[in-house]
Amino acid sequence: MSLAIDRLAIIGVGLIGGSLARALRERGAVKHVVGCGRDAANLRRALELGVIDEAHHDPLEAVRGADVVVVAVTLGATGDILARIAPGLGADTLVTDVGSAKACVVDAARQHLAGACARFVAGHPIAGGEKSGVDAANAALYEKHRVILTPMPENSRDALARIRLMWETVGADVFEMDAVLHDEVLAATSHLPHLLAYALVDCLVDLGKPVDVFDFAAGGFRDLTRIASSNPAMWRDIALANRTALLSVCDRFEQTLAGLRGLLEAGDGAGLEVEFGRAKAARDEFMRRRR
- Answer whether residue 31 shows pLDDT above 90: yes
Single-letter amino acid, residue 153: P
205-to-193, 213, 231 alpha-carbon distances in Å: 18, 8, 19
For residues 148 and 181, what is the distance between their CA atoms, to the nearest angstrom?
A: 11
For 164-217, list the strands marked E by DSSP. Answer: 173-176
- Answer whether residue 11 shows pLDDT above 90: yes
| 3-class secondary structure, 152 | coil
Terminal CA-to-CA distance of the chain, rounded, Å?
29
Single-letter amino acid, residue 1: M
For the chain, how many residues are written?
A: 291
Q: What is the pLDDT of residues 111-148, one digit of tens each?
A: 999 889 999 999 999 987 767 789 999 999 999 999 99
Average pLDDT of the chain, as a whole number: 94
pLDDT value at residue 1: 61
Q: What is the pLDDT of residues 216-258, one digit of tens each?
A: 888 888 899 999 998 898 899 999 999 999 999 999 999 999 9
Q: What is the pTM of this model?
A: 0.89
Number of H helices, E strands in the chain: 12, 9
Mean pLDDT of 61-86: 96
Q: What is the pLDDT of residues 154-212, one digit of tens each?
A: 999 999 999 999 999 999 999 999 999 999 999 999 999 999 999 999 988 877 666 67
Structural domains in the chain? 5-177 (3.40.50.720), 181-290 (1.10.3660.10)
pLDDT value at residue 210: 63
For residues 147 and 19, what is the distance between their CA atoms, to the nearest angstrom?
A: 14
Strands laid side by side in the 94-97 sheet: 54-56, 30-36, 5-11, 68-71, 94-97, 120-121
At CA 97, angle to CA 149 and CA 86, rounded to 5? 125
